[in-house]
Chain A
């Protein structure tokens, strides 16, 4: 079984731990006076950040856990509050005394550490990368996040579920459509209506445009990090053109609020996709012929299939390691031309090529769906627990909503990045520190979506 998420919620008489696997959902109810449960981390290493987050936010202990360090509670975060409990209502907290975070470090003769971030040299999101180095070689890397922790989950509580769509759109900007679609699916389930094929197609088109733009951006930045700047100019141009088309389609360059505004103009899409396909073909031929690029891409940043499975890695990261996992792998998508795109070795080169192949496939899917018509919808939500899955441009996105008395009682979302970040450190052991930006870009994970 693959672990998708472990998260907690508070009920009137107990705490509840919800374990979501690909084949089943398990619930555990814990005594409020002494909340504890056995760790999942021995079998599922990606449960580590989930459990550390739950401990910080709910004060639930995990028995036999080997990592009890705080996750969202950084150095100056008060340690004695459990902000996701229902009785915690403060909107303002004071900084507490600085308590150092104990990094995973390797010590020894001539071993040194290189701390990178949270603020980085380029225009990127904040996060901390803690390297233990023996010269150029990386001995160990700890990825530390939650600098951008906004407490989105708490922000969503006690709201009319129909009035939080604007926040949903902006949890992780480059996956906005995926978040909107996941939430739309939840609202429609809660309203008891089945989404029509026509509407699903409409949304799928948007999702594929979002994916194309994300891939185009990466196809520029990955070679750029290997010193091949011409690719960035080429792809930067194409990504900009795609964004402008997205603006024509949704009236917003990132498609924010698009699914709920429900106003689309697909008229320019078909021609653009033909043009794009040619441009990608040119790019592919051109870059395949540049040995210095492949010299950097091949054998770099290898995510082995075993590790990917162990951590439950999703999305491009998993597929590039040859794992058949894609939320779109279903009858609906297949009918419109979806084909899963796989790599072999899980190296930077595989992730790069999977992105190219997925652009071709996304183009085909959109083209087969372009006969969509405008269709209205209306929600009237009923109390209950709802879940949904969507394939974002990064990977499988899981969303959960519990509605009580017409209000949001618990909102949870597991960004694909939350899993993939945790497997990230396994990919760098044969590489030198200078390869790190390249490897990082080849996964291109979201910090905002991870941190919430």
Chain B
């Protein structure tokens, strides 16, 4: 274990994009009341794959690696839609996932938002319509483009969502 701590100290903190922290602080001030009222100071995200290629999930998982450490901004992934403010949906929404995704959405408490993640969640991307694909017909509030969007891009878009979304 000593070896590990030695290495840990030598490596230091690798987390990047510290500018996001500053930005987040500013946003917080800007929309402090909104955040406090609606998000209890942090943003809880429930990710659901509606029929992706799995790369969008991999990039979301990468958000927790030491380079991005998304949680430091108070944005975190939750296990249940009932704990979520945001439903983050990837994939083309297959026929077989359709009701499950809608179920997850319905389980979320109000107010709630839907963000689509990745090109194929918006307009199928490179894929084409087949009988097995429904396409996402949830009330989408925001879209994060890319195939897949990089972790840094996802972070930036989360902040942008917070800035631009009007919360009544």
Chain B binds chain A: yes
Asked if B127 and A150 make an inter-chain contact with CB atoms under 8 angstroms apart, the answer reads: yes
Known pairs A149-B96, A170-B147; A447 contacts B54 (CB<8 A): yes
Contacts of B126 in A (CB 8 A): 166-167, 169-170
Asked if A123 and B67 make an inter-chain contact with CB atoms under 8 angstroms apart, the answer reads: no
**A328 on interface, CB distance cutoff 8 Å:** no
Asked if B96 and A125 make an inter-chain contact with CB atoms under 8 angstroms apart, the answer reads: no
User: Which single residue of chain B is at the shortest CB-CB distance from A247?
Assistant: B150
Contacts of A93 in B (CB 8 A): 95, 131
Within 8 A of B (CB), among A278-335: 282, 285-286, 289
**A121 on interface, CB distance cutoff 8 Å:** yes
User: Which single residue of chain A is at the shortest CB-CB distance from B64?
Assistant: A236
Asked if B3 and A286 make an inter-chain contact with CB atoms under 8 angstroms apart, the answer reads: yes
Within 8 A of A (CB), among B53-104: 53-62, 64-68, 77, 79-80, 91-92, 94-101, 104
Task: State the CA gap A167–B97 with chains docked (Å).
Answer: 20
Distance (whole angstroms) from the CB of A162 to the closest CB of chain B:
14
Contacts of B92 in A (CB 8 A): 150
By secondary structure, the A interface counts as loop
Asked if A448 and B53 make an inter-chain contact with CB atoms under 8 angstroms apart, the answer reads: yes
Known pairs A92-B131, A170-B125; A237 contacts B60 (CB<8 A): no
A residues contacting the other copy or chain, number (CB 8 A): 55
**A446 on interface, CB distance cutoff 8 Å:** yes
Contacts of B94 in A (CB 8 A): 147-150
Distance (whole angstroms) from the CB of A412 to the closest CB of chain B:
15
**B116 on interface, CB distance cutoff 8 Å:** no
Pick the contact of B104 from A119, A147, A171 — CB < 8 Å?
A119
User: Which single residue of chain B is at the shortest CB-CB distance from A154?
Assistant: B130
Task: State the CA gap A126–B48 with chains docked (Å).
Answer: 8
Asked if A233 and B66 make an inter-chain contact with CB atoms under 8 angstroms apart, the answer reads: yes
**A256 on interface, CB distance cutoff 8 Å:** yes
Task: State the CA gap A81–B55 with chains docked (Å).
Answer: 32
Asked if B131 and A90 make an inter-chain contact with CB atoms under 8 angstroms apart, the answer reads: yes
Distance (whole angstroms) from the CB of A83 to the closest CB of chain B:
5
Stretch at the interface among A172-180, A195-203, A347-355, A430-438: A172-180
Task: State the CA gap A366–B133 with chains docked (Å).
Answer: 39
Pick the contact of B52 from A76, A83, A148, A285 — CB < 8 Å?
A148
0/1 interface trace, chain B 141-167, chain A, CB 8 Å (1 if under): 000000110100000000000000000
Asked if B80 and A121 make an inter-chain contact with CB atoms under 8 angstroms apart, the answer reads: yes
Asked if B55 and A150 make an inter-chain contact with CB atoms under 8 angstroms apart, the answer reads: no
Within 8 A of A (CB), among B19-59: 47-49, 51-59
Contacts of B132 in A (CB 8 A): 72, 83, 149-151, 154
**A131 on interface, CB distance cutoff 8 Å:** no
Contacts of B104 in A (CB 8 A): 119
Asked if A173 and B54 make an inter-chain contact with CB atoms under 8 angstroms apart, the answer reads: yes
Task: State the CA gap A253–B68 with chains docked (Å).
Answer: 15
Asked if B96 and A123 make an inter-chain contact with CB atoms under 8 angstroms apart, the answer reads: no
Contacts of B62 in A (CB 8 A): 236, 239-240, 243
User: Which single residue of chain B is at the shortest CB-CB distance from A74?
Assistant: B96
Distance (whole angstroms) from the CB of A104 to the closest CB of chain B:
19
Task: State the CA gap A357–B18 with chains docked (Å).
Answer: 36
**A35 on interface, CB distance cutoff 8 Å:** no
Distance (whole angstroms) from the CB of A171 to the closest CB of chain B:
7
Within 8 A of A (CB), among B95-134: 95-101, 104, 120, 125-133
Known pairs A91-B131, A155-B127; A147 contacts B97 (CB<8 A): yes
User: Which single residue of chain A is at the shortest CB-CB distance from B16?
Assistant: A240
0/1 interface trace, chain A 184-213, chain B, CB 8 Å (1 if under): 000000000000000000000000000000
**A108 on interface, CB distance cutoff 8 Å:** no
14 residue pairs A–B, Cβ–Cβ below 8 Å:
A76-B95, A92-B129, A118-B97, A126-B100, A148-B51, A148-B94, A150-B127, A150-B130, A170-B55, A173-B52, A217-B61, A240-B66, A240-B68, A286-B3
Q: What are the 6 tightest A-B residue pairs by CB atom distance, in nearest-first order?
A: A173-B55, A236-B65, A121-B79, A151-B132, A173-B53, A151-B130
Chain A residues in the interface with B (C-beta under 8 A): 72, 74, 76-77, 81, 83, 88, 90-93, 95, 118-119, 121-126, 146-151, 154-155, 166-167, 169-174, 176, 217, 230, 233, 236-237, 239-240, 243, 253-254, 256, 282, 285-286, 289, 446-448
Further 16 A-B residue pairs, CB within 8 A, beyond A91-B131, A237-B66, A240-B66: A76-B99, A119-B101, A121-B80, A123-B47, A123-B61, A147-B97, A148-B94, A149-B132, A150-B94, A173-B52, A173-B56, A173-B58, A174-B54, A176-B55, A233-B65, A254-B55
